[in-house]
Structure 1
Amino acid sequence: MQSDKLLISVIIPIYNQELFLEESIQSVLKQSYPFVELILVNDGSTDRSLDICIKYSSQYGNVRYIEQVNSGVSVARNRGLQESTGAYVFFLDGDDTIATEFLEEALAIALNNESDFVAIGEDYCFRSRHMMALPTCAMFLKTDFLKKHPDINFPIGIQPCEDGLFSHQLLALTDKVSLYPEGKYHYRQHDFQNHIIINQNTSKVLAQIPQWLSLLKEFYTRNNFYKSHALHLALFIEHEPFELRYIRMPFDDEQRMQLFDLIKVFMHEKVLPNLNTDEKAQLSVPFLYFLESKDLKSFDTFYIDYKRKKTKKFKTQLFLLKFIPLSKFRRSLRKKFSRKFHQL
């Protein structure tokens, strides 16, 4: 298949991003690949974001904007998908940018491998054997694949994890997944990011987790996937509600107890009975210990000791790296050790 006339749709959901939006838009307009439509979905912004959308849509024929009452990022992305006409789709946040060759290279990989899904970025591609979910910045999607599964959308009213739930289901529905580790998505960190604000609201996040589990139950039941995709589901539960929420978020003891029970009940009822011995061995040591713990105290005691030993090992590895003469090899090992340290 030739790429010279295939259209790529880039969808930007926007809410009060006037400080960064023009730079984000410009990074799309400067792409080396010429056939791109840019869909700006203004989710009821109260700043100058709408003015910027109007400005660029009036100046560029391949840019159009959609105005909606503030309804959340999932509704904005779903609306953009409905309006898109490209053969492939990519989602860009309104405060981030992409490298000039980003879309052209992602498309080439998709076409060369006849992929439904291209995973992007070194930080995500290294998990290729255990890829259970991805953020929107790491997804380049074939539109025909999405059309085959019209029931898979960004879940409305859920944030965070809306992108994780979306990608998790899609990854379960295809084995035509390619990797683009060299893809350069420039993620801007600032104090006004939605995920930072949301993750500070522990009560809101905890209240949504039963919705995540309900959506997963419905998906796995509908597709009869509990047995065939048990490891895929187990790794998702390990990563999202356990690692990113239970381990990393500042829940109080009562909240942690609620989440402790939610995760254990779901895993013991829906997942563990379908895992074989080899699959179970692919789960992390902390997660397996968590699943067998009788209470919070026993797990916390274990995890404090586990982190202490892991930190000690990591520091020893960094010290020994100083004696490796080849700087390139040293940097490679440092990255490898750091990545393993930050995993469970």
Structure 2
Amino acid sequence: MCEISIIVPIYNVEKYLKRTIDSILSQSFEDFELVLVNDGSTDSSGEICDEYARRDERIKVVHKNNGGVSSARNTGLITASGRFIGFVDSDDYIAEDMYELLYNNLIKENADLSICGIYDVYEGKVLEEKENQYLIKNREETVEMILESKIISVNPVNKLYKKDLFLGVSYPEGSITEDAAVMFFLLEKAKKIVIDTTQKYYYYHRENSITTKPFSRSDMKTIEVWQNNEKYIAEKYPQYLSVAHTRVCWANLIVLDKLIMSENDYLSEQKKIVKFIRKNFSFIIKNAYFTKNRKISVILLCLNINLYKLVVYFEYSKNKTRNS
């Protein structure tokens, strides 16, 4: 048995995979196993995994039929033998001391979950440095912070978990926004959380990633997941219900933006979302979590959907120019 099992779900990432694996194998904390789950890749990703496994005995490779990132993570959890669990996405990379920091903080504070900061990496852009904070939180405080998504988020990859947190918990297969679907259930088993916002994880934003693919009806799952989270919060932490509803409104707006940029007509989905946003107009306008520009766009949406579309097209063009 090792201390940490690092799980990497892999699907068609031959361009980025060696960088990811190299960053993990270079960790200053050495008592780990690396579980590479090849989720039915059709490129050379599987061969790259096998090549690395021949070189380093800490690597386990699992080849499986394609089932999506949740299926791959669940397979990794079944395979893992470590006392603690970490996840790294197959197109990202990590600082050489990330797991040393996460592990030392977790042990020092006798915590159930350890979290570090994230760099958002875009081609050609300078990395944004954020203020360092060291925080000890209980379950309720962490739930609120994750709902607010200012300092920490539902993202699973910049965290080190006690493996026991996953007993009876698995990622929902066939769904998207799977991180948000399980995070609160993991927290339900955690009493103490340590947060060190020192940025050690490099989250690489690529144009053809799952978050930038064209809209499909499965994107409606994002709304469904946050609606389910809202029900959970209403039952367990009613004091945070307003923040939970904010996330539902946010999910509707994000999905609507993606839908509008799609080349296909999804009129029934569009009408459903627009109806929801108009119904929640006052809540959004009075809500401090939404930016001034977002509120203006919601006002335009309530006047005419075509005005809202113009704003979405403009923002998309501006961001594309900025990131090109």
TM-score by length of 1: 0.67
- Contact 2:37/2:61, CA 8 A, preserved across alignment: yes
2:165 match? 145
Question: Structure 1 residues 232, 174: CA separation in 2 closer, same or farther (over 3 Å shift)?
Answer: farther
Match runs of 1:44-59 below 5 Å? 44-59=40-55
1:244 match? 254
RMSD: 3.9
2:74 match? 78
Q: Note if 1:227 corresponds to 2:230.
A: no
CA shift, 1:44, in A, is: 0.4
Q: Note if 1:158 corresponds to 2:175.
A: yes
Match runs of 1:83-102 below 5 Å? 83-102=79-98
- Structure 2 counterpart of 1:26, which letter? D
SS at the partner of 1:94?
Answer: coil
SS at the partner of 2:28?
Answer: coil
SS at the partner of 1:187?
Answer: strand
CA shift, 1:74, in A, is: 0.5
Question: Structure 1 residues 282, 191: CA separation in 2 closer, same or farther (over 3 Å shift)?
Answer: closer
Question: Structure 1 residues 215, 57: CA separation in 2 closer, same or farther (over 3 Å shift)?
Answer: farther
Q: Which has the larger radius of gyration?
A: 1
- Contact 1:117/1:139, CA 8 A, preserved across alignment: yes
CA shift, 1:192, in A, is: 3.0
1:297 match? 302
- Counterpart CA distance in 1 for 2:164 and 2:199 is 23
Greater share of helix residues, 1 or 2? 1
1:334 match? none
Identity %: 23
SS at the partner of 1:257?
Answer: helix
CA shift, 1:295, in A, is: 10
- Structure 1 counterpart of 2:155, which letter? P
- Structure 1 counterpart of 2:91, which letter? D
Q: Deviations over 1:263-308 (max 9, x none)?
A: 788x89xxx9xxxxxxx97654779979xx999424979999xx9x
CA shift, 1:94, in A, is: 1.1
2:225 match? 212
2:146 match? 131
Match runs of 1:1-344 below 5 Å? 7-121=3-117, 130-132=145-147, 133-147=153-167, 150=168, 152-159=169-176, 161-171=177-187, 174-197=190-213, 200-206=214-220, 208-209=221-222, 211-212=224-225, 215-216=228-229, 219=232, 224-225=235-236, 227=238, 229-231=240-242, 233-239=244-250, 241-246=251-256, 250=260, 254=267, 255-261=269-275, 284=290, 296-298=301-303
CA shift, 1:247, in A, is: 5.2
- Structure 2 counterpart of 1:245, which letter? V
- Counterpart CA distance in 1 for 2:277 and 2:188 is 21
CA shift, 1:144, in A, is: 2.0
CA shift, 1:248, in A, is: 6.2
- Contact 1:41/1:65, CA 8 A, preserved across alignment: yes
- Counterpart CA distance in 1 for 2:155 and 2:231 is 22
- Counterpart CA distance in 1 for 2:45 and 2:52 is 11
SS at the partner of 2:5?
Answer: strand
CA shift, 1:72, in A, is: 0.5
- Contact 1:57/1:63, CA 8 A, preserved across alignment: yes
- Counterpart CA distance in 2 for 1:140 and 1:249 is 35
- Structure 1 counterpart of 2:229, which letter? L
CA shift, 1:205, in A, is: 1.0
- Structure 2 counterpart of 1:225, which letter? K
CA shift, 1:52, in A, is: 1.2
CA shift, 1:175, in A, is: 5.0
CA shift, 1:215, in A, is: 4.4
Greater share of strand residues, 1 or 2? 2
CA shift, 1:182, in A, is: 1.0
- Contact 2:11/2:40, CA 8 A, preserved across alignment: yes
Q: Identify which of structures 1 and 2 has the higher relative contact order when contacts are C-alpha pairs closer than 8 Å and 6+ apart.
A: 2
Question: Structure 1 residues 48, 248: CA separation in 2 closer, same or farther (over 3 Å shift)?
Answer: closer
- Contact 1:98/1:186, CA 8 A, preserved across alignment: yes
- Counterpart CA distance in 1 for 2:304 and 2:75 is 43
- Counterpart CA distance in 2 for 1:131 and 1:220 is 12
SS at the partner of 1:153?
Answer: coil
Unaligned runs of 5+ in 2: 120-129, 134-140, 148-152, 313-324
- Counterpart CA distance in 2 for 1:171 and 1:299 is 41
